[in-house]
């Protein structure tokens, strides 16, 4: 049995960590499409094709349930996949709905009408494709009224993290936060809308200042997965745990080991 976790690269490891802490007995097959990262600068069609190919690989590895631990794929491809591609006996779930539910103080799956919530000025940091999709704003509008969202497309941050150039990643985070603040000087909350960004959470918080509440996804996604598996235990699948990449396994293993601070061995997908 195993659940699949997919990302374009290493960002989904932030979700994997939280899932392994919350559900230590659930084996995970992690797939990084490192050969095609970053997704955030690609077209929706491209993101759809690549995400379907990776998810199919996870289905082939025995997973019946796959988490897209990638906001870009969740924003640009998930709805189309669910409507036209996912077989009836499989499930593919995205990562940003649990985050928006937490931010709008809702229980998982609460479908009541939108209402006023605590946060009013929200800074959204995400990849160019996620920002262009406006999927966050759409999901938020279903649940909350009176929330002003300013989105900042953080070009370059995912590439820098994938290359292991954390000095560049930090400089880019600072400059993207400055650009956001020129548009919205006093956000009261910030969303890290890319699973790579929690690896830079300290830099985001330092640039935003201590009064801005920073929301990131990992723990929220782990909690909603636990809830989902409670209700659908048969979705655990048949596969055996492992780490797969479409990139160079040795290189991806080294970076993953650096981020998770424990030895991770990727094999070729
Ligand atoms: N971790 C992916 C996300 O959450 C990064 C996308 C990319 O490859 O640009 O959006």
Angle between helices 96-103 and 218-231 in degrees, nearest 10: 110
User: What is the position in ligand 1's atom list of the atom closest to the CA of 70?
Assistant: 4
Q: What is the mean pLDDT of the chain?
A: 94
Query: Of ligand 1's atoms, which has the minimum distance to the CA of residue 40?
Result: 9
| pLDDT number for residue 108 | 65
- Closest by alpha carbon to 8, among 91, 70, 94? 70
**Largest Cα–Cα distance of the chain, in whole Å?**
50
CA of 119 to the centre of ligand 1 (A): 25
With bands split at pLDDT 50, 70 and 90, how would you rate the model's confidence at 226? Answer: very high
Section 73-91 average pLDDT = 96
Q: Is 50 in the pocket of ligand 1 (CB under 6 A)?
A: no
User: How far apart are alpha carbons 56 and 70 in whole angstroms?
Assistant: 16
Q: Which fold has domain 106-215?
A: Rossmann fold (3.40.50)
Q: Which residue has the higher pLDDT, 111 or 48?
A: 48
CATH 3.40.50.1860 in the chain, residue ranges: 3-96+218-268, 106-215
Q: How many angstroms is it from 10 CA to the middle of ligand 1?
A: 9
**Cα of 72 from ligand 1 centre, angstroms:** 5
% residues pLDDT > 90 (the chain): 86
The mean pLDDT of 129-153, rounded to a whole number, is 94
Residue 15's pLDDT is what? 96
| Residue 43 confidence (pLDDT) above 90 | yes
- Give catalytic residue positions: 70, 194
Is the distance from the beta carbon of residue 194 to the nearest atom of ligand 1 less than 6 Å?
yes
Which ligand 1 atom minimizes the distance to the CA of 75? 10
Condensed to tens digits (0 to 9), the pLDDT of residues 148-200 reads 999 999 999 999 999 999 999 999 999 999 999 999 999 999 999 999 999 99
Q: What integer pLDDT is reported at residue 90 of this predicted model? A: 96
**pLDDT tier for residue 91 given thresholds of 50, 70 and 90:** very high
- By most ligand atoms within 8 Å of CB, the mutation choice from 41, 72, 128, 132 for ligand 1 is 72
Question: Residue 113 Cα, ligand 1 centroid: separation in angstroms?
Answer: 30
**Which has the closest alpha carbon to 78: 89, 93, 65, 61?**
93
Q: Domain 3-96+218-268 maps to which CATH number in 2.60.40.420, 3.40.50.720, 3.40.1160.10, 3.40.50.1860?
A: 3.40.50.1860
What does the alpha-carbon distance between residue 32 and residue 43 come to, in Å, rounded to a whole number? 19
Task: Identify whether 38 is preceded by a cis peptide bond (ω within 30 of 0).
Answer: yes
CB 229 within 8 A of CB 26: yes
Does the Cβ of 193 fall within 6 Å of ligand 1? no
3-state secondary structure of 170: helix
Q: Is the CB of 127 under 6 A from ligand 1?
A: yes
Position of tokens 């190919």?
53
State mean pLDDT over 48-67.
97
């Amino acid at each position: 049995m195993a659940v699949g976790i997919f990302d374009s690269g290493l960002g989904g490891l932030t979700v994997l960590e939280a899932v392994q802490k919350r559900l230590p007995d659930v084996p995970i097959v992690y797939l990084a499409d490192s050969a095609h990262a970053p997704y955030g600068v690609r077209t929706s069609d491209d993101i759809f094709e690549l995400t379907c190919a990776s998810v199919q690989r996870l289905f082939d590895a025995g997973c019946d349930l796959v988490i897209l631990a990638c906001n870009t794929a969740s924003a640009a491809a998930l709805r189309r996949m669910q409507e036209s591609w996912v077989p009836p006996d499989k499930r593919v779930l995205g990562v940003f709905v649990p985050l928006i539910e937490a931010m709008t103080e809702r229980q998982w799956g609460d479908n009541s009408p939108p209402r006023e919530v605590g946060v009013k000025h929200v800074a959204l940091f995400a990849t160019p494709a996620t920002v262009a999709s406006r999927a966050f704003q759409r999901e938020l509008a279903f649940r909350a009224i009176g929330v002003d969202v300013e989105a900042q497309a953080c070009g370059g941050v995912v590439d820098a993290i994938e290359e292991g150039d954390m000095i560049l990643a930090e400089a880019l985070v600072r400059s993207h936060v400055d650009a956001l603040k020129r548009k919205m000087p006093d956000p009261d909350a910030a969303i890290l809308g890319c699973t790579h960004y929690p690896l830079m959470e300290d830099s985001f918080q330092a640039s935003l200042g201590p009064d801005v509440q920073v929301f990131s996804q990992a723990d929220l996604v782990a909690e909603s997965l636990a809830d989902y598996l409670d209700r659908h235990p048969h979705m655990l699948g048949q596969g055996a745990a492992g780490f797969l990449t479409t990139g160079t396994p040795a290189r991806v293993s080294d970076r993953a080991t650096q981020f998770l601070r424990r030895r991770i061995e990727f094999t070729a997908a």
